[in-house]
Chain A
Amino acid sequence: MSVSTTAPAKERAPQPSPSRARKRSPALLLILPSLIFMLLLFAYPLAQGIITAFSDPSGGFTLGHWERMVGDNKFIPALRNTMLLIVVLIPLQFAFALAMALLLQEKPRLSGMYFYFWAIPLAVSDLAAGLVWLSIFQDRGYLNSVLDGVGLPVVSWLHYENTTTMFIAVLCAELWRATSLVLVIVVSGMQGIPKDYAEAAAVFNANYWKRLRHVILPLLKPSLQVALILRTILAFQTFAVAQALTGENFPLLVGETYRWYNFLTNPYVASAYALLILGISMVTAVVYLRVLRDQSQVGKR
């Protein structure tokens, strides 16, 4: 309910009345601590990370760490798995979250309880989510028990040779864990859409799918855009789920960073990996913003 009350306030507040223009100095004082803190803990490590990725132990410039990263036999699988996961997971997740939000929109009985159940994974860590699904996908796990119970052959889902089934296991765990975030963003976006629009469309004989496609989805676009960027950036950081389910057998980019840093104690190559992840995330975010903005401008014309 208070979503609707805060939204108009947000638009009202930034317009300063003349009497409030004098209050500029306290604002800078108030944001200063956060600014200093973030420069120290973001800008400085970032600069340090870039230097580390390009310098040899004696301090000179080198591209050797990047060559070593690309030449490693787990680099291509890690890159491929990360990309594949994102390409398959994100559309599935958005379709799923949208369907869930539309179901809640119909106000079924017990919808409060459903929303609670569907939001629980929001607070579950990726490591815990991986362990949850380990109990299902491991060789003596519940999935194989059920398969065996109905007379189907059991599958070694997490065996290191079965890349496809490992992928499915990681996909399920991520779908379970991270759809809640998209759901919450989409539901709160839907609360901001006045019912009148869909009702007006219904008066003009638009059926459910037409209302969804031409009224609800366009109005939901800002929320979807935010959710898309946030979820994709977070999906590049998928790590502990795969660690818990498959150990090292299903390499992902962040997992490789962790391996190079912790087990091979090579901060240089690890920094190169970290920068690669940062670069890919940034490029993806910019592409999303470009593509989505262009489409909305085309729509306006």
Chain B
Amino acid sequence: MTSRPDTEHGTATTAPIEVDKRPLRRHQFNRALIQLACILISLFMVVPIYLITISAFSTRQGLNEFPQPLWPKNFSTETMATFLNSTGILAATLNSLTVGIGTLVLASLVGAPAGYAIARFAFRGKDPYQLFLLFTRALPIVVLSIPLAQVFLATGLYDQPIGVILLHTALSLPTTILITSSVFLSVPIDAEEAARIFGCTPVGAFLRVVLPLALPGIAASAIFTFVTSWNEVLGATILTFSNRTLPAQVLSTLGDSPVAFRFAGGLAMIIPSIIFIAIMRKYLLNMWGTTIR
């Protein structure tokens, strides 16, 4: 009696041996190759950031060493501290924040209503309007900044954060409008209509139903606007003289600053972007995927 289950078990174990294992092995090999490729690309993306970080946290003598150690051997916060305490950097960072937040607010205030109009209404001139948006998006920054600098010089907006805010708003407005319109599209019309049926005014329905639902997407678009403004170099450099934003300050002192100083500046500009992508990971695909077309 006991021998029978044994033999059955025996046949069960011998059977898979006859199965051709090559496809499985090929599959495992492919998976391993994919992992390897992913790791290599990740190294290409991350190692440069690691390298500038250890550069920014090395002593100045350490940076003159050759060959450079690939690990933080000469660790010191001295370079970073000198950079942050040097003249103009704190003011420039504050200017960057002012300009970024100002741009975010202005672009959202002007852009979100237009995005809502594109999402909800059919109106004459909608296609030309959207084409106009695409065209403005393709305009090089230099084309705008040089004439604007002359206009701002005449009107007293030159070298003021508000002037840079206006330029950055103009640059990010097309993107803001396209992103917010896709955000509003994802809010079902039914919810809005239900609110109207239960007695909300159009404005009330928008404020109480549509806006809360659209807020995460609008926030994503706003943060994106902030980063665009935080990163913009050329226009800010042309439109300011002493009230620089951080990138403009780093660019205009590039020629006569020591190498250590440049690395510290680079790292200071990169840190916000790492945080930004970490927050925005979920929204990235939505924002670029549906809006660009």
Contact = CB atoms under 8 A, between A and B. Distances in A.
Interface in A121-180: 121-128, 130-136, 138, 140-142, 144-146, 148-149, 176
A21 B124 CA distance: 11
Interface stretch (B1-9, B15-23, B63-71, B97-105): B63-71
19 contacts: A23-B121, A33-B114, A34-B114, A41-B167, A118-B42, A120-B277, A123-B272, A125-B231, A125-B273, A127-B233, A128-B269, A145-B69, A176-B48, A187-B289, A237-B142, A237-B234, A240-B247, A261-B146, A267-B149
B37 to A, nearest CB: 6
B293 A135 contact: no
B253 to A, nearest CB: 12
B66 A132 contact: no
A6 B182 contact: yes
A261 to B, nearest CB: 6
Contacts of B265: 131
Interface of B: 31, 34-35, 37-38, 41-42, 44-46, 48-49, 51-52, 55, 63-70, 109-111, 113-114, 116-124, 129, 132, 136, 138-144, 146-151, 166-167, 169-170, 173-174, 177, 182, 185-186, 188-189, 202, 227, 230-234, 237-238, 247, 250-251, 254-255, 259, 262-263, 265-266, 269-270, 272-274, 276-278, 281, 284-286, 288-290, 292-293
B173 A140 contact: no
A198 B44 CA distance: 30
A185 B293 CA distance: 10
Nearest to A48: B147
B283 to A, nearest CB: 9
Contacts of B266: 127-128, 130-132, 134-135, 244
Given A116-B278, A132-B48, A41 B138 contact: no
A116 B277 contact: yes
Contact of B121 (A27, A100, A222, A239): A27
A116 B51 contact: no
A257 B270 contact: no
A48 B147 CA distance: 6
A186 to B, nearest CB: 10
Given A140-B64, A239-B233, 4 more contacts: A10-B182, A34-B113, A38-B170, A142-B51
B286 A2 contact: yes
A195 interface: no
A6 B286 contact: yes
Interface in A28-45: 28, 30-31, 33-35, 37-38, 41-42, 44-45
B185 A10 contact: yes
Nearest to B167: A41
Interface of A: 2-3, 5-7, 9-10, 13-16, 20-21, 23-24, 26-28, 30-31, 33-35, 37-38, 41-42, 44-46, 48-49, 52, 99-100, 103, 106, 108-128, 130-136, 138, 140-142, 144-146, 148-149, 176, 181, 184-185, 187-189, 191-192, 222-223, 226, 229-230, 233, 236-237, 239-240, 243-244, 247, 254, 257-258, 261-262, 267, 270-271, 273-275, 277-278, 281-282, 285
Given A6-B290, A108-B34, A125-B273, A138 B259 contact: yes
B254 A244 contact: yes
B136 A144 contact: no
B114 A30 contact: yes
A97 to B, nearest CB: 10
Kindly name the residue among B68, B110, B150, B188 whose own CB sees the greatest number of chain A CB atoms within 10 A.
B68
B41 A114 contact: yes
Among A9, A16, A110, the most chain B Cβ lie within 10 Å of the Cβ of A9
Main secondary structure of the interface of B (DSSP, over half): helix
A282 B134 CA distance: 12
A247 B113 contact: no
A222 B203 CA distance: 36
Contacts of A34: 110-111, 113-114, 173, 177
A131 B38 contact: no
Contact of A131 (B34, B122, B262): B262
Contacts of A41: 144, 148, 166-167, 169-170
Contacts of B149: 261, 267
Given A49-B146, A120-B274, A257-B146, A103 B37 contact: yes
Contacts of A128: 231, 247, 266, 269-270, 273
Given A34-B177, A176-B48, A226 B292 contact: yes
A244 B262 contact: yes
Contacts of B67: 144-146, 148-149
A266 B260 CA distance: 32
Contacts of A109: 35
A144 B51 CA distance: 13
A135 B122 contact: no
Nearest to A51: B147
B119 A274 contact: no
A222 B44 CA distance: 28
Contact of B52 (A111, A135, A233, A270): A135
Given A118-B42, A125-B230, A45 B143 contact: yes
B293 A226 contact: yes
A55 to B, nearest CB: 12
B193 to A, nearest CB: 10
Given A114-B38, A136-B48, A184-B288, A119 B143 contact: no
